[in-house]
Structure 1
């Protein structure tokens, strides 16, 4: 309750500073009316969306996501203004003290707010505001194909040049543009990889979310098949189900949908891919995650039928599983494929220069390729989106990995 009160006070303070910035640079009342009108519309819509429909646990419908997205953009806008103008207020306060005690003046007078500072504040605040709006309009469907080549000394010769396409975190319950999704599915098929691996979170909460998209994703194809695992959202844990049976049936329905789309769902089990008398193992665990996430994954059970010398590809939705259990395991898992983080759907990436997102403070491995003890993990940035209905800087990802016979190279 205390945190909520502090948050409300902070929001009011930010709105006041936003008002002051606009008032400083213009005397036009319409600008102030417009500002308050936008604030009331955005905040009012959020409360309306949150309280006008039945609450089903932590289910966030697309329209509620958009309400949250607009509030997030407004919050970022006012936060920048507040930081700059509050800093100016500190300077103004000490300037007033100086004039009173450091000069011959007797009165305490705080200098007026400077128009230039307010202009700078509004200009800087417009950057995250516009970026978040762009992310909601265009960024969430700005699909990128990221290609990697990984070398392994012990890769079977027959699999030299073998291509894997990985997708993750579809979150079909968030989609609102069929044309964009069909384009992305075509883009996946254009990679013409040997095998397609999906690393969990097909839906946000309910199996029914995938029904409108079943035919679209059913068009995905790969020569050696399509394999999948479950993510934390696939279990329906965030819904207030009327009964345990309803929750169980939801998961069974999702399994059936995946089968109808041609996916081989691996539930703590394994399969072999064979080529020219040689083979590699595909291992799939159920979700295992630190920090309160579901721990249904059983690595020992999933690898029970695998030989120690097999070349192993592990599918595990949550990358926290990798350091916690996979790397120190008695088996050597050559390549682990994960997702889950979405790269927080927000960050800055300039290939070869910078890769940053606030999610790095939660997950050590959060996007791209990492290497420890000769074992690789790729953390896919996700196909879809959840919560904030957009992406800024961290774009939706389709990964294509080519396996090559050769000396391994360390990647940080």
Structure 2
């Protein structure tokens, strides 16, 4: 209760301070009242949804929207408060100077009025993140992007020169609320006509039942050499309060069964060999392994026990910290690792080929796109779905298409 009171007080104080910019620009009582109606509704809805909330009880669509709308209000606050504060850095000392030099004046007013043009600039700046977040909730979460890469390897088997794979990650089916948009994305994946489709974990948020409405949709995915998948941290059901250990185990078993029904070959610390014209690629799939409190059941040695050192290897591992902490320095050379997990935080600024930034970079060294270390590559997929925040701003849902080429070209 105390934490909620502190949160509400801080929110209202910040809201009132930010309101000064709005009040400086307009004296229209209807608009001023509307400001408070919107912000108080957003605050009230957030408190209503999350007071007494326990993550283990599940995270619904209404929880997601409560988070989304709160972020849509709070981020513009930061711009408004910043502008107001910078103005007050000059206004307050000036007022103190006038008080001590002028004494008691007749009006008793020492603080200079806020300048309207500063408030207008502040509101203009605040409108950018507000509009971006609203767009991210309304459109961005289904703004699928196909990112294509050509990657060169000297020791790629000749038969696989020009081999094309599509990587998907972090579907989080329990977050979806628009079947048609998901169907569109599945058609977009199939249009890539890849040789194989590889899914790198987090098919659901928590429960296998989330996937049932989309089973027939994802069941339409097709690739010449099949579909393969691994588990992500959310797939194990660790974030739900189950009535028993047996219920939790059944949930995971159900998820495995549904993936099989959809045509996915789930790799659980094991390897499948893709064969072509007498040559092969080792497709290694490990269970989740991550740092920072995430499940560590991925066993690279077990998964690769039937793999030769000379094999060309593609590793599917959900969390990129696994690549950083174990894979890069392993005795085996894993040519290409495919991961996801970070979602690119679903928020950032990205100009393809020029600039890429997200706050998630402070948590993950490898957070989106292709990286190279010790002649080994990793692609961190930005995710197909979304989680918690019901949107994407600047970091769009991703379908990765990688063409493997033999040679020494630049990736």
CA, structure 1 residues 187+384, in 2 after alignment: closer, same or farther (shift >3 Å)?
same
Q: CA deviation at 1:6?
A: 5.4
Listed one character per residue, the Cα deviations across residues 343-395 of structure 1 (whole Å, up to 9, x for unaligned) are 00001111122100000111111000000111000000000000110001000
Measure, in 2, the Cα distance between the counterparts of 1:56 and 1:289.
Answer: 20
Matched, 1:21 2:21: yes
Q: Report if the CA contact (8 A) 2:158-2:406 is conserved.
A: yes
DSSP-derived class of the 1:57 partner? helix
Listed one character per residue, the Cα deviations across residues 247-296 of structure 1 (whole Å, up to 9, x for unaligned) are 11100000000000010000000010000000000000000011111111
DSSP-derived class of the 2:166 partner? strand
Matched, 1:111 2:112: yes
Q: CA deviation at 1:402?
A: 0.4
DSSP-derived class of the 1:197 partner? strand
Q: CA deviation at 1:59?
A: 2.2
Q: Report if the CA contact (8 A) 2:159-2:276 is conserved.
A: yes
Q: CA deviation at 1:10?
A: 2.9
Measure, in 2, the Cα distance between the counterparts of 1:328 and 1:407.
Answer: 23
Instruction: Give the TM-score taking structure 1 as reference length.
Output: 0.95
Tell me which residue corresponds to 2:349. 348
Q: Report if the CA contact (8 A) 1:170-1:202 is conserved.
A: yes
DSSP-derived class of the 1:280 partner? strand
Count of residues paired in the alignment: 407
Measure, in 2, the Cα distance between the counterparts of 1:55 and 1:92.
Answer: 45
Q: Report if the CA contact (8 A) 2:18-2:84 is conserved.
A: no
DSSP-derived class of the 2:136 partner? helix
Tell me which residue corresponds to 1:216. 217
Measure, in 2, the Cα distance between the counterparts of 1:10 and 1:89.
Answer: 19
Tell me which residue corresponds to 1:49. 49
Q: Report if the CA contact (8 A) 1:163-1:401 is conserved.
A: yes
> Structure 1: which 5+ residue stretches go unaligned?
none
Q: CA deviation at 1:105?
A: 2.4
Tell me which residue corresponds to 1:39. 39
Measure, in 2, the Cα distance between the counterparts of 1:17 and 1:25.
Answer: 14
Q: Report if the CA contact (8 A) 1:163-1:194 is conserved.
A: yes
Q: Report if the CA contact (8 A) 1:194-1:222 is conserved.
A: yes
Tell me which residue corresponds to 1:367. 368
Listed one character per residue, the Cα deviations across residues 298-320 of structure 1 (whole Å, up to 9, x for unaligned) are 11111111011000000000001
Q: CA deviation at 1:55?
A: 4.6
Tell me which residue corresponds to 2:79. 80
Alignment of 1:160-239 (within 5 A): 160-239=161-240
Q: Report if the CA contact (8 A) 2:381-2:400 is conserved.
A: yes
Q: CA deviation at 1:100?
A: 4.7
Tell me which residue corresponds to 1:125. 126
Tell me which residue corresponds to 1:11. 11
CA-based RMSD of the aligned residues comes to: 1.7
CA, structure 1 residues 82+235, in 2 after alignment: closer, same or farther (shift >3 Å)?
same
Q: Report if the CA contact (8 A) 1:153-1:408 is conserved.
A: no
Tell me which residue corresponds to 1:386. 387
DSSP-derived class of the 2:56 partner? coil
Deviates more, 1:245-254 or 1:27-36: 27-36
Q: Report if the CA contact (8 A) 1:22-1:31 is conserved.
A: no
Matched, 1:305 2:302: no
DSSP-derived class of the 1:40 partner? helix
Q: CA deviation at 1:212?
A: 0.1
Q: Report if the CA contact (8 A) 1:374-1:408 is conserved.
A: no
> Structure 2: which 5+ residue stretches go unaligned?
none
Alignment of 1:65-76 (within 5 A): 65-76=64-75
DSSP-derived class of the 1:313 partner? strand
Q: CA deviation at 1:22?
A: 1.8
Matched, 1:97 2:96: yes
Q: Report if the CA contact (8 A) 2:46-2:67 is conserved.
A: yes
